[in-house]
Structure 1
Amino acid sequence: MSKFPVAVGGALLVLVLVLAGCGNEAGPAPKPQAGAPGPDALPTKLDALSADQCYASPRTQLPKGCEKYVTEVANVPGAARKRADDRDPQLVAEAAKLEQAVGSFRATGCTTVPAAGGPCSQALVDIAGALTGLKKQVDARPTSG
């Protein structure tokens, strides 16, 4: 009977060693995260957004179909402020207008509105107008790079 506790103890020791070895494996190396695009990427982003149908003809678009567009546009004010870097108050003002227009679209619940017209279409018109103003301001300034 004395062999039983020794066998259990030995098996337990082997199990602990195996599990400890597993914990030290590195596993797959994480892929490096891509950094956020710099402020010089803003003109390219604005060109892409201004080619979208939600920008080109906001009154006829279904608001819920413009959800991705509005999400992309919502990233622009922060990039514009970064580009302005406290040296371009007009660009900061244009960014604020765009942020307000996006906020209006979201506050009205436009991501679920299936038909054109009403306050959601007006919010898309306001976004397009604010994006135009911001784009003009960015295009008037050279890139920093």
Structure 2
Amino acid sequence: MRNPRRAVLLICASLAVLTAGCGSELGPAQRPAVKVGAELPDLQVKLRALQADQCQSVTAETVYPECDRFVTEVVNLSAAIKAATEKSTRATDIATAVDKLASAGGDYQRGQCGAKGASPDTQVCARDLGTVRDQLIVLSSAMEQVAGH
């Protein structure tokens, strides 16, 4: 090589590239922290938020066209609650409420109750939303008991 400075610079650059990122990699003894599933307190926060939604409090006949997302979120949350409480003393009650909730949520969606431009049956949609709401209350009560409140 004609330029020793260039050779040293090239060697340093090569070493920098080879060692880049090595300091933060997980070694064989380290495991990443993995959170599997939702924690009960997180589920309770979501449950309280859904209970404050207008779809839970306004007359079902009036509000049902605006509740498609609410119904979807309640059904999804209830499935997570069922999974998180399967070993609790209230598991059977929770599973029953979740099954009723999922059935009513499915009926609500099949009836296009929240679909824009659809002409769903008001009484059927209000009934389905009412069942979702009722089971959300049952679920909330069971969750309070599971949490010891």
After superposition, the C-alpha distances for 1:8-27 in whole angstroms (9 at most, x for unaligned) are xxxxxxxxxxxxxxxxxxxx
Show structure 1 runs of 5+ residues with no match: 1-33
Q: TM-score, normalised by structure 2?
A: 0.63
Q: Percent identity?
A: 23
Q: Deviations over 1:3-46 (max 9, x none)?
A: xxxxxxxxxxxxxxxxxxxxxxxxxxxxxxx9764343111111
- Residues 63 and 114 in structure 1, CA contact (< 8 A), matched pair in contact too: no
Aligned to 1:120: 125
Partner of 1:68 in structure 2? 69
Aligned to 2:23: none
**Structure 1: distance between partners of 2:84 and 2:145:** 13
Give the partner amino acid of 1:109.
Q
Deviation at 1:117, TM superposition (A): 3.0
Structure 1 residue 115, shift from structure 2 partner: 7.9
Q: Amino acid of the residue matched to residue 130 of structure 1?
A: Q
Check conservation: 1:39, 1:79, Cα contact below 8 A.
no
Could you list the per-position Cα deviations for residues 32-75 of structure 1 after superposition, in whole angstroms to 9, with x for gaps in the alignment? xx976434311111100010111112424343311121121121
Q: Which moved more, 1:134-143 or 1:47-56?
A: 134-143
Matched, 1:104 2:99: no
Runs of 5+ unmatched residues, structure 2: 1-34
SS at match of 1:43: helix
CA distance in 1, matches of 2:101, 2:57: 16
| Counterpart-to-counterpart distance in 1, 2:85 and 2:139 | 11
**How many residues are paired up?**
110
Task: Give the structure, 1 or 2, with the largest relative contact order (CA under 8 Å, sep 6 or more).
Answer: 1
Corresponding letter in the other structure for 1:45? K
The question of whether the paired residues in 2 share the 8 Å contact of 1:54 and 1:69 is answered with yes
Moved more, 62-71 or 125-134: 62-71
Contact 2:112–2:120 (CA under 8 A) maintained in structure 1:
no
SS in 2 for 1:110: coil
- What is the Cα-based RMSD across aligned positions, in Å? 2.4
Give the structure 2 partner of residue 78 of structure 1: 79
